[in-house]
A and B are shown apart, each in its own frame.
Chain A
Amino acid sequence: MNVVVTPAMLAQVIVSGILAGGLYAMVALGLGLIFGVMRVINIAHGPLLMLGAYTTYFLTTRAGINPFLTVPVAMAALFLVGVLLQRGLVFRVVDAPELSSLLLTFGISIALVNLAQLAFTSDLRAVEYITGAWVIGGLAVSKPRMIAFLFAAGVTAVSFVLLQRTRLGKAIRATSQSREVAMVCGVDVARIHMLTFGFASALAAAGGALLAVIVAIQPEMGGVWTFKSFLVIVLGGAGNYPGALLGGLLLGLVEQIASLFLTSQLSEVVAYVLLVLVLLVRPTGLLGGRQT
């Protein structure tokens, strides 16, 4: 009801917002990469995240591996899944009208969720690893969320170095900017598409693996992440990779601050109103999207 917001409370939710934003940025970067390179909106991004979370769950509970050490394993496993999906299905719709790719990835998404229900059942699962918070100058910093944030920041940083510095990264960016020119310059575009899809799936898997210690795992957990990632890349500028970073942090902060001053229910409204405003004022996103 009527709670007076103090600066300390505001500082507390800003901390939480940044921690959440780091995860948003990393997961959305994957969705943004696929969109940039293939012009495909991957609705199955969230379900791939869910598979990453299950990978961590099983490795942690069955093999007793530290959940944070399973992050690279989940990434590698989902990289393969992504490559197979791209090679088997998604490549067919790369040049097709947008509706085809939406339908296809929507179908993949439904298939993955239902397969997960069959294989893992709908029972809720969770990884209990670390709880509590570090208290720094009156601010509580959640231990699991902080560690997840640091991992996400690390993975995102490595991804940026990969994209900016390596030959492969340059090829990915070139393909994203102009497929024809990249092809003329000797880039194997089909291979880039495949690797990008795999890499994006690995980013989703990293998100799932990190979420495993924070939230309950169930086959339908991914859906909301598809939407949040989509929101992030549109906010930041679709196809513009640093935009995902900005969009992710912005979404995390807006959600938390709106929850503080208004209500949790309205925080989603605020996030989507922000999206509409950005689309009205800067249709290409805050950092500008890729020109078609």
Chain B
Amino acid sequence: MIPKAPTALAVAIALAVGGVVPATAQGPIRIGASLSLTGTYAKLGKNQHEGYQLCEKELNAKGGLLGRKVQFVVYDDQSMPATAVRLYEKLITEDKVDAIMGPYSSPVTEAAVNVTEKYKKVMVAPLAATTSIFKKGRKYVFMVISPAEVYLEGLIDMAAKRGLKTIAVVNEDTLFSKAAASGAVELAKKKGLQVVYTEAYPKGSTDFSALLTKLKAANADVLAAATYFDDAVALTRQMKELNVNPKMYGVTVGGDLPEFYDTLKQNAEYVYGATQWEPTLPYPGNQEWYETYKKEFGHEPSYHSAAGYAGCIIYAEAAKRANNLDADRVREQLLKLEMRTIFGDYKVEADGFQVAHKMVTFQWQKEKKATVWPDDLAKAKPLFPTPPWTSR
């Protein structure tokens, strides 16, 4: 005897799982990505993953995308570019995902994007900040965060507006910092500041006595330092020791970490820093998003979380406008799109290079990061000029 009821159930299950009955063709939209869930970038990659998860949840709560549910297919690339290449190959050829999102970091994106270009798949790459990725004639890759070259733009712009004349630019001799420093030199020249001193120092430097001694002799109004954390801390400490007193002093990465203030205490006051995103910025829905994120994952988001979320939202918006998932039609929309998300503005040039997103410049004021640039986002006036160490 063959029972009838279970057959109906089987059909229902098949329908629910999706894809089995081709006529309906309304399974979820599967978005594939590899992320650094283990390895060097694990912490940041996980934050980006959580950004994707929150985006997925929110899209589905609003009825999905193009009338279909959204489902992320995420693999762990162990922070290794070669692994990411393999995983994107698998996502596209074996899993046959409907869409692609970018991995964490510039090096991993640089490797993975070769695969997505080969198969003509759109990749919104929310955590790739290296300019060159977008300057190699690639067609389907889109940038979300600001490039290294503009990290010090706010500092230089404020200095020029206050009539300062000379600037010194120092940097760690690594890819990101070099790009940030060369960008700063270009911007300074454009704004009419005279670059009186530049020097690169090797990674791992902990003693800046000689560099600062020369810097002091050069007597620049502004010190723009393209740093990571260790060197930003060491530089600041030794500036105090050697009594080096620029009227403005700004750093790049590291200066925005809470540890920067914890380590330097009152010596961090007046230091300028740059950040891609802060929960306090007045972007639409930012505050609510921050609260939701904290509730969902039990910890604070970083800019990696916000950029991941925003990248996914940007892709969804473009797909919605294209009313289709076809790569060329989504690409067309991504090129046209101008959008403000919780992460800030999005607009790209014809090569996918980000031009609208603004780095925000803050200054450490009374133990807090006060946003001082750009003017439309600023919450506080910069404390200018920075008083000499001896009169603090």
Contacts and interface: CB of A to CB of B under 8 A. Distances in A.
Interface string B256-289: 0101001111010000000000000000000000
B25 interface: no
B201 to A, nearest CB: 4
A267 B207 CA distance: 12
A125 B233 CA distance: 11
Contacts of B238: 142
Given A126-B259, A216-B233, A264 B218 contact: no
A12 B209 contact: yes
Nearest to A127: B263
Contacts, number: 107
A13 B209 contact: yes
Interface stretch (A36-44, A84-92, A128-136, A167-175): A128-136
A264 B201 contact: yes
Contacts of A142: 238, 241
Interface stretch (B91-99, B192-200, B298-306, B330-338): B192-200
B132 interface: no
Q: Which range holds the interface residue count of chain B?
A: 35 or more
Q: Which of A3, A123, A132, A260 has the most CB of B within 10 A?
A: A3
A140 B243 contact: yes
Interface string B186-230: 000000000111111110111111110110011000000000011
Given A12-B213, A20-B207, A264-B210, A132 B230 contact: no
A279 B318 CA distance: 64
B199 A9 contact: no
B213 A13 contact: yes
A15 B43 CA distance: 40
A100 interface: no
B210 A260 contact: yes
B237 interface: yes
A4 B202 contact: no
Contact of B229 (A124, A144, A263): A124
A131 B240 CA distance: 8
A259 interface: yes
B14 interface: no
B209 A264 contact: no
A140 B197 contact: no
B328 interface: no
Interface in B131-186: 173
Nearest to B204: A224
A291 interface: no
Contact of A126 (B43, B217, B262): B262
Contact of B197 (A1, A9, A125): A1
A256 interface: yes
Contact of B218 (A3, A12, A215, A257): A3
B267 A131 contact: yes
Contacts of B241: 131-133, 140, 142-143, 145
A124 B264 contact: no
A56 interface: no
A15 B217 CA distance: 17
B214 A256 contact: no
A256 B209 contact: yes
A132 B243 CA distance: 8
Contacts of A123: 259
B259 A259 contact: no
A126 B199 CA distance: 26
A248 B213 CA distance: 22
A215 B234 contact: yes
B331 to A, nearest CB: 37
A122 B208 CA distance: 24
Interface in A84-126: 122-126
B238 to A, nearest CB: 7
A214 B264 CA distance: 11
A211 B204 CA distance: 13
B245 to A, nearest CB: 13
A224 B230 CA distance: 14
A259 B229 contact: no
A216 B263 contact: yes
Contacts of B214: 3, 5, 9, 260
Contacts of A122: 43
B242 interface: yes
A265 B263 contact: no
B207 A6 contact: no
A115 to B, nearest CB: 16
B249 to A, nearest CB: 15
A123 B241 CA distance: 26
A16 interface: yes
A255 B207 contact: yes
A36 B384 CA distance: 57
A264 B207 CA distance: 10
Nearest to B199: A263
A224 B242 CA distance: 25
Q: Which of B173, B209, B229, B265 has the most CB of A within 10 A?
A: B209
A92 B257 CA distance: 45
A279 to B, nearest CB: 22
Q: Which of A122, A123, A132, A259 has the most CB of B within 10 A?
A: A259
21 contacts: A1-B197, A3-B214, A3-B217, A6-B217, A9-B217, A20-B207, A122-B43, A126-B262, A128-B263, A131-B241, A131-B264, A132-B241, A133-B241, A135-B243, A224-B204, A255-B207, A256-B207, A256-B210, A259-B211, A264-B199, A265-B202
Interface of A: 1, 3-6, 9, 12-13, 15-17, 20, 122-126, 128, 131-133, 135, 140, 142-145, 211, 214-216, 218, 224, 255-257, 259-260, 263-265, 267-268
The 3 tightest CB contacts between A and B, nearest first, are A259-B210, A16-B209, A264-B201
